[in-house]
Amino acid sequence: MDLRFRSVLQLLEYFSCNPVCIRYLEAHRWQGNPICPHCASAKKPYVIEHGARYKCADKDCGKKFTVLVGTIFENTKLELRYWFAAIYLVANHKKGISSHQLSRDLGITQKTAWFMLQRIREMLREQGQLILEGTVEADETFIGGEAKNRHGYHGHKDDKGNVSKIYAGKPGKPKQPVAGIVERDGKVILKVVPNVGKKQLTSFIQDHVSTKAILYTDEHTGYSALPTQGYDQHKTVNHSKGLYVIGDIHTQTIEGFWSQMKRGIYGVYHQVSVKHLGSYCNEFSYKWNTRKLEDQDRFNHILTHTNYRLRWKDLVGRA
């Protein structure tokens, strides 16, 4: 299974039909050891229906399953090759890909493309609890707003075809704050927060940064409680006095991340509703965190993270 595809065309040629996609997914999710998605039994399941399905060997479970159960691909009506191509495109466009572009590239409707992108972004959510160590920078930013300075403000629609909640209404509507922390030369973690007060930022950092870390922020009061919470090595740069770098003390890594993320959000997606901002955060942090992987390795990595299924009604907020 060490084939290399260098383009979406090669990928589509290789993944010519559903059985090929399923074998590939099995190899990457299970690594040769099929696991029952219902009970996670350690017993080796029976191969049934000529390999089309498996049957759990646990006598209390005994359920039949395929590799698709419990993934975003379960119950999809689309051929898997479309999903694989979409994942490849999402993984390898640094600034992201809009549902309009994906719809044109794959010859599917924009509504389908939008739903696929939302599901794929959910897969990009970091699995497990990440703790950053070493030298860590924390900062916050605001997404949206500034509409009067950007084209596409009046009556423009978002990626889904609705007038954006951020952009609709008067210029100067509140922007949505996002808190971020990054380990230098390591991973970034983002969180959409209701405000950038002390309580929010302190607890976000406590959840994800070791107290042994050297922690750099600007002088924003939201970070001022950190030394009392065990962060002895917290140092600040005074941006309001025009100071940005004092030796090692700076927040330029996270600022570089923000500008990359904003180039994607404003350049490709044009606008993002508050409701879906978290999923865009997943996408951009995932790309940053896997930036050292080659395109195909990132594709394979995403395929191993498919244990998340999102229903249409959850996405659009209808019961």
Kindly state whether residue 243 participates in binding Zn ion, applying the rule CB under 5 A: no
Q: Mask: binding to Zn ion, 40-59, rule CB under 5 A, as x and -?
A: -x--------------x-x-
In whole angstroms, how close is the CB of 120 to Zn ion at the nearest point?
Answer: 27
- In the complex, the smallest distance separating the C-beta of residue 37 from Zn ion, rounded to whole angstroms, is 8
Interacting positions 165-204 with Zn ion (CB under 5 A): none
- Can residue 61 be called a binding residue for Zn ion (CB under 5 A)? yes
Is residue 261 near Zn ion by the rule CB under 5 A? Answer: no
Cβ proximity to Zn ion: between 39 and 225 the closer is 39
Range in contact with Zn ion (rule: CB under 5 A) among 7-15, 25-33, 38-46, 233-241: 38-46
47 versus 246: smaller Cβ distance to Zn ion: 47
Under rule CB under 5 A, residue 36 binds Zn ion: yes
150 is a site residue for Zn ion (CB under 5 A)? no
Nearer to Zn ion, 45 or 96 (CB): 45
130 binds Zn ion (CB under 5 A): no
Q: Rule CB under 5 A: choose which of 10, 14, 20, 38 binds Zn ion.
A: 38
Q: Is 39 one of the binding residues for Zn ion (CB under 5 A)? A: yes
We find the least distance from the C-beta atom of residue 32 to Zn ion, in angstroms, to be: 18
Q: Indicate the residue among 36 and 123 with the shorter CB distance to Zn ion.
A: 36
Cα 213 versus chain centre, distance = 25
Binding site for Zn ion (CB under 5 A): 36, 38-39, 41, 56, 58, 61
